[in-house]
Amino acid sequence: MMMKSMQWALVALTFLALSLPASARMLPDFVPLAEEHSPAVVNIATTRESERQHRGQIPDFEGTPFEDLFERFFGSPGGEEGRRAPESFQRNSLGSGFIYSEDGYIITANHVVEGASEVVVHLSDRRVYDAEIVGKDPQSDVALLKIDANDLPTLALGSSADLRVGEWVLAIGSPFGFDHSVTAGIVSAKGRNLPTENYVPFIQTDVAINPGNSGGPLLNMDGEVIGVNAQIYSRTGGFMGLSFAVPIEIVEDVVRQLREQGEVSRGWLGVLIQEVTRELADSFGMDKPTGALVARVQSDSPAQKAGFESGDVILSFNGIEVPNSSALPPIVGRTPVGTEVEVEVRRGGETLTLEVEIERLPEDISAQRGGPRPEQPDPVQPQSLLGMVLEPLDRSAAEELDVTGGLVVREVVDHPARAAGVRSGDVIVQIGGEAVDSLETLERLLDAVGDRRTVPVLVYRGGNPTYIALRVPRD
């Protein structure tokens, strides 16, 4: 009887095992990946020159966790008079990288070597080399190094385009200086755009990445590099489950340009864009929110020459669909300078195709992002309308914003302006695609809204243009 019960139990366990998904029955084996590919991963040590301020008899907290706290409550001890001349000292840091070619080219993150006076590469076999910085690209956070060595182990490059959310990936690096540490996880998302990075559609993973991992490779299960570990999202400075890698296609393009010309050039369209929200899509008569909304066309830019207008919604670029605003900058940036492309836009309820020749992204693109916040004019007959206290924009402020006129929002007192997100200090320059140069013009345009009760309103906020959707109440 006992034997029969055991047989039935064995049958039941076998059936249960066979009924489980394949992923549960066979978890990935990372051992071969770690053993085969770790030799091509390097540790990078850098030295930076810094200055330390002396504080007389008061304890020197500079460079410690207490520095910001001390400054916040006590300020600079003794003021400027209490300080002696700054003293130069060397600051050391660690990062990771991987060997790109047998003759000594190494890929790492730009911030690992940024500002470094000395870069030293440690190989897995304990050989140590001084490295030359061939080139750096802060916008993609990629740097290329060169050491004087040959017949080195290398890593094969794969494709992030074929990567799927949920796929297993592996990172090798030197977190906190612990050489050749291996961590694994899955792809959490693709095409992530971070607030400070416009030209990189990051790969998001839950692989444990910590200080020292930066610049190391992110591998797929075939042992191919599909990204370079670059950033983490953290409120503590350590890993919190969100890490980001630069896709290998971006890395390859940057490395090629750095090797060939020592710098990176990117395509430039010349528009300031924003996300198309559900409310804005409704105000533009669109079925769903999609594309990139043009808030401003920059002067003397390719977009201006091609006839782009504020209020255009870019739907596709060179045959590539633009699902949201964050997708556009990487697509434009990868377009070779001088290329003529077709751009599909929605304007006034119609779909148009514009032809534009892409130019090189200016080095100081920040100068193209709009002017300073205008000084508000002295009160001139302010009036209340749609929950806003408004008054005309004076001529000098209009010249600073490069607009013909507008209305300054002195105060937001009620709906619908409050519900739309209008703020005090905003400058209204367009409504429904028409210029607003006076209170009378605004009232006329609002009266002409008709059945479409939600209208797009172009405002300048802090010197920069942005669209908001304003719902006009029925009488």
Tell me the per-residue pLDDT of 248-268, one tens digit each, with 9 for 90 and over: 999 999 999 999 988 898 999
Q: What is the mean pLDDT of residues 287-316?
A: 93
What is the spatial distance between Cα 9 and Cα 7, in angstroms, rounded to a whole number?
5
Both 188 and 226 in a single domain?
yes
- Annotated catalytic sites, by residue? 111, 141, 214
Note the pLDDT of residue 8. Answer: 59
Residue 66 has pLDDT above 60, yes or no: no
Among 227, 261, 295, the domain-final residue is 261
Whether residue 271 lies inside any domain: the answer is yes
CATH number (domain holding residue 275): 2.30.42.10
pLDDT band at 360 (very low <50, low <70, confident <90, very high): very high
Give the residue with greater pLDDT, 424 vs 224: 224
Whether residue 311 lies inside any domain: the answer is yes
Among 233, 261, 289, the domain-final residue is 261
Both 309 and 286 in a single domain?
yes
Q: What is the mean pLDDT of residues 420-447?
A: 85
Both 43 and 123 in a single domain?
yes
Whether residue 188 lies inside any domain: the answer is yes
Note the pLDDT of residue 240. Answer: 80
Residue 19 has pLDDT above 90, yes or no: no
Number of domains comprising the chain: 4
Note the pLDDT of residue 37. Answer: 95
pLDDT band at 422 (very low <50, low <70, confident <90, very high): confident
Q: What is the mean pLDDT of residues 208-221?
A: 93
Note the pLDDT of residue 35. Answer: 93
pLDDT band at 9 (very low <50, low <70, confident <90, very high): low
Look at residue 413 and give its three-state secondary structure: coil
Counts of helices then strands in the chain (DSSP H, E): 12, 28
CATH number (domain holding residue 88): 2.40.10.120
Among 261, 296, 326, the domain-final residue is 261
Q: What is the mean pLDDT of residues 101-107?
A: 96
Both 272 and 340 in a single domain?
yes
What is the spatial distance between Cα 460 and Cα 284, in angstroms, rounded to a whole number?
19
Both 255 and 201 in a single domain?
yes
Whether residue 157 lies inside any domain: the answer is no
- In sign, the C-alpha dihedral spanning 305, 310, 315, 321 is positive
Both 188 and 130 in a single domain?
no
Whether residue 28 lies inside any domain: the answer is no
Structural domain range at position 314: 267-368
Q: What is the mean pLDDT of the chain?
A: 82
Both 288 and 362 in a single domain?
yes
Both 413 and 431 in a single domain?
yes
| H or E segment to which residue 48 belongs | strand 41-52
